Amino acid sequence: MPRIVGMDVLDVRFPTSRELDGSDAMNPDPDYSAAYVVLHADEGPDGYGFAFTIGRGNDVQAAAIRAMEPHVVGLPVPEDAAALASLSQRLVGDSQLRWLGPEKGVAHMAVGAVVNAAWDLAARRADKPVWQFLSEMTPEEIVGLIDFRYLSDALTPEEALEILHKAQEGKAERIQHVLDHGYRAYTTTPGWLGYSDDKLVRLSKQAVADGFDMIKLKVGGSLEDDIRRLRLAREAVGDDIRIAVDANQRWDVSTAVEWMQALAPFSPYWIEEPTSPDDVLAHQAIARQIAPIKVASGEHVQNRVVFKQLLQAEAISVLQIDAARVGGVNENVAILLLAAKFGVPVCPHAGGVGLCELVRHLSMFDYIAVSASQTDRSIEWVDHLHEHFTDPAIVRAGYYLAPRKPGFSARMHDATLRRYRFPDGPEWTGENS
């Protein structure tokens, strides 16, 4: 039986702040980074995963991943749902590490990175992409992946099983649909706060020409600027294209409501992260006051418990999973099932570095085996840094193509790891640059 015999953790950073790609109201100068983990097997492929950060602190994130090593090294290579469930429970349940969260922030993202690497490893060994590996599990196996603690007031194992059994019908057709057509994307490329009006208009028009039916703009810096930018974008794309806006947690309740009322004439489709991602009741209050504009959140939602409450309180009507914020595939499967239970569409957060690569697997699984629908669903697309991955996300005519290679698409090129390693890679030392 093959075993995991080693774990490497690397601090990899990209100097994205030099170009203001990724600038928004709360994150003016991100250096997109990955605390990158490799699980070495004594035979067959290795497994790859990462936590995403925006620069400083990526070393702290890497240290948190290293703290998982005793739970992983020495284990048999996971091959099935039961082994992946057991690994996830073991990492989440460490009785001392738990204090650092529980199940939130640096400690929980570390769990997520290792769990995702284990999924990558298992899927590579099965010679399947994760979306397919996961979709082919039985409803019972899928339910077995989930830690239902703290969920039973909203979703029981029996209800989850019922959702999954219902989605068995038409599954083969939906797998074929994903292979033929992929999954809807929307693009955030036009709308970074640091971009000029000209660049915003040019990229908005380009997005429509490229086949997207929704774009997203960052807001929350200055109301006057936002009104002008949203008007320009609306003029550029016309009335049939959805425009979402994203405040990146900038506001309190009353400011969010007033700001969105001022933007309402330009028909924004959703407001994303209007306030603190921890604030279920504030999202609820905002949602009630700005309807029919939708409220979306998730990229900073720390775990399934907060997602559960956002759904229970009808505080969001678009749920944005993130592949690398929570405790990995297992917890994201729980969140997809919660969303299905409450009938809320999932439109994942992506971008950063590698998030598009990972999260497409989860949306495709959601369509095939959970929600059985793509209506009002799409995955964020930001066309940055994909060249660093061995199985990069590809969007054509507004659709993510289904990944075909085995694994979770988390692996970076060796040349990337050498060049962008922090602080000793040549990109950071200035040598050979």
Q: Give me the least distance between CB of 36 and a copy of itself, in Å please.
A: 16
3-state secondary structure of 182: coil
Interface pick for a copy of itself out of 39, 280, 295, 337 (rule CB under 8 A): 280
Residue 289 binding a copy of itself, by CB under 8 A: no
Q: Give me the least distance between CB of 413 and a copy of itself, in Å please.
A: 24
Quickly tell me which residue has 């009785």 as its tokens: 95
Residue 90 buriedness (CB in 10 A; 0-12 / 13-18 / 19+) = middle
Nearer to a copy of itself, 106 or 118 (CB): 106
| 414, two tokens | 């060796």
* Other C-beta atoms lying within 10 Å of the C-beta of residue 1: 7
Residue 423 binding a copy of itself, by CB under 8 A: no
- Do the bridges between strand 47-53 and strand 33-41 make them parallel or antiparallel, or are there none, so unpaired? antiparallel
Interface pick for a copy of itself out of 82, 264, 281, 291 (rule CB under 8 A): 281
Residue 306 binding a copy of itself, by CB under 8 A: yes
The answer to whether residues 403 and 360 touch, using CB atoms and an 8 Å cutoff, is yes
- Report which secondary-structure segment, H or E, holds 288: helix 280-290
CA 112/CA 125 separation, integer angstroms: 20
Q: Give me the least distance between CB of 145 and a copy of itself, in Å please.
A: 18
CA torsion sign, 278 to 379 to 52 to 90?
Answer: positive
Cβ-based neighbours of 113, under 8 Å, separated by 6 or more: 35, 37, 49, 50, 51, 65, 324, 328
Nearer to a copy of itself, 53 or 116 (CB): 53
Nearer to a copy of itself, 30 or 47 (CB): 30
Interaction pattern, residues 126-165, with a copy of itself; x per rule: CB under 8 A: -----------------------xxxxx------------
CA torsion sign, 105 to 192 to 356 to 301?
Answer: positive
| 333, two tokens | 């499967």
Active site residue 218: yes
Beta bridge partners of 295: 271
Q: Give me the least distance between CB of 279 and a copy of itself, in Å please.
A: 5
Nearer to a copy of itself, 29 or 140 (CB): 29
Active site residue 349: yes
CA 298/CA 305 separation, integer angstroms: 12
Stretch that binds a copy of itself, among 180-188, 195-203, 269-277, 371-379 (CB under 8 A): 269-277
Stretch that binds a copy of itself, among 94-102, 204-212, 217-225, 407-415 (CB under 8 A): 94-102
Within 100-129, the residues that bind a copy of itself by CB under 8 A are: 100-109
* Torsion angle defined by CA atoms of residues 198, 204, 207 and 209, in that order, rounded to the nearest 10 degrees: -80
Residue 67 binding a copy of itself, by CB under 8 A: yes
Interface pick for a copy of itself out of 11, 279, 322, 331 (rule CB under 8 A): 279
Binding site for a copy of itself (CB under 8 A): 26-31, 53-57, 59-61, 63-64, 67, 94-109, 149-153, 249, 252-254, 275-282, 285, 300, 302-303, 305-306, 308-309, 312-313
Catalytic residues, by residue number, are 218, 349
